[in-house]
Structure 1
Amino acid sequence: MRIFNELVVRRRVLEINDFATMLLFVFGLVTLSVLGTNCDRNALLYRVDISLPPKEGRDEASDILSIKDTVNGLTNISVLFSFKELGNPRVVLVLDVEKACRWNQLTQYLSSSGYEYSSRTLYHCSDYAKELGVDIPKDMWETSFGDEELMIEQKTFPFNDLSTVDYNLKMRWKFEKDIGILKSGHKAACFRTLAEYPVQLMYFGPIKPSGIEAIEEVVHAPGNFETEITQIQNLDYYTGQCN
């Protein structure tokens, strides 16, 4: 009887392993269909950072303007935002990649030009807030900025031994505070880095005393976050000329 029971257990284990293997196979097929060269997949948002490494005789302004013109001319890739980091030869883009098979237009250009680049997948803060039960209409966020002093504020929210429920409540509270800041007249755009924990949010917006005060209020509130601020300028207004 004992031998029989052991055989039954082993058989069930094998059946479970076979089922798990089948699930992994199916998951692999689905993943390949999404990440492959299927031009009909859903659009994805990306942040792309492009750096110009030091090079003798390099005309930094000319190269940055070339990046600007090239990216704006890509097919099936829309430029939502484009910025130049102040004090550094770095361009920051937020792109809507409408067709995956068009992505190589950008990577081939950057590689052939000798630029260093990195990318991360994003999705809109309104979509993430909605998952938490907070309704922030997308039209409350900015879709463009003028020739003004701008910043990227990158916020990382540590777990601090919180449960998943408490962590989600913390993020919900953050978005509820955002609604008040936006209603007060502060302009901003917001994206979350996809599939990264702890949660990382990126805000793009003008540097204004009222906005800084609102940010400080949130920073010093319970359950604070880590923040990194980078000053930028709108690439649409970049000329590379000294004023």
Structure 2
Amino acid sequence: MFVTLLGPLALSCLPLSVLGVPEDKDARMYKVNITLPLKEGRDENADVLEIKTTVAGLSDMKVLFSFMVPGNSMVILVLRVDKACSWPQLTSFLARKGYAVKVTPVYYCSDFARELGINMTRDFYDTSLENDEDLLLGKEIFPVKGLTTAQYNEKLRQMFVRDISILNAGQPSASFRTLANLPVELIYFAPVTPTAIEAMAKTLHAPDNFEFEILRIQKLDTYTGGCK
């Protein structure tokens, strides 16, 4: 599900058949990209701080993560929506401000790994990334490229086996899969450390063919505005 500038309000009261039943919280997790378009006289710092304040006041919407992309006029949120009609708190604000918005349903990579037969608990990935201000956002896309379902699933299992070794070595990371069929897209948030850079290099030099993107991000709750 993708929402552009004209579409945020369409999310305001989606039926539970789309957003998930109350017991199925994972069916209602979303990654939200908020882009502040260029505009003469815009005070980007003030706008980001207003988003930060608005997000902090949301009810029936749990903010799992909130990030700022420095120099890119973009805020990234990962939300769990506990009530379908709680969306207007955020979407009406964003529509009024005229921001470009993209919403993507996601769920935990640990749950996806278990679907593939990998023994991974929900807390294997870090779910907080506490006290980490300097972070990376990594996005992996696994093209099908003529593979059979069995071959594709095995490719993904091997990736999770590598992930387990990296996480067991002490590298924290939060990870989500976008809720789509194919190709599989995984999103990672991890602190910028020598271990993280080494882990990224290990992933990028893996024998599998996949697309990989990296962005530098910082926690929105540590953002205070101003020039550095």
Q: TM-score, normalised by structure 1?
A: 0.82
Structure 1: state its 5+ residue gaps. 1-30
Q: 2:18 aligns with which of 32, 35, 45?
A: 35
Matched, 1:57 2:41: yes
Change (3 A) 1:88 1:32: closer
Matched, 1:174 2:180: no
Q: 1:103 aligns with which of 87, 103, 107?
A: 87
Find the counterpart in structure 1 of residue 198 from structure 2. Answer: 213
The one-letter code sitting in structure 2 at the alignment partner of 1:58 is R
Find the counterpart in structure 1 of residue 73 from structure 2. Answer: 89
CA apart distance, 1:207: 1.8
Please show how residues 146-225 of structure 1 align to structure 2 within 5 Å.
146-225=131-210
Find the counterpart in structure 1 of residue 31 from structure 2. Answer: 47
Give the aligned length: 212
Bigger radius of gyration among the two? 1
CA contact (8 A) 1:122 1:191 kept: yes
Give the % identical residues.
48
- Please give the alpha-carbon distance, in whole angstroms, between the structure 2 residues aligned to 1:187 and 1:60: 31
Which segments of structure 1 move beyond 6 Å, counting only runs of 4 or more?
none
Question: Secondary structure of 2:68's match?
Answer: strand
Q: TM-score, normalised by structure 2?
A: 0.87
Comparing 202-211 with 214-223, greater Cα deviation is found at 214-223
Question: Secondary structure of 1:191's match?
Answer: strand
Structure with the higher helix share, 1 or 2: 1
Structure 2: state its 5+ residue gaps. 1-13
CA contact (8 A) 2:34 2:101 kept: yes
- Please give the alpha-carbon distance, in whole angstroms, between the structure 1 residues aligned to 2:104 and 2:190: 20
- Please give the alpha-carbon distance, in whole angstroms, between the structure 1 residues aligned to 2:82 and 2:16: 16
Bigger relative contact order (CA 8 A; separation at least 6): 2
The one-letter code sitting in structure 1 at the alignment partner of 2:148 is S
Residues 192-212 of structure 1: CA deviation (Å, up to 9, x unaligned): 000241100000011222222
- Please give the alpha-carbon distance, in whole angstroms, between the structure 2 residues aligned to 1:242 and 1:156: 34
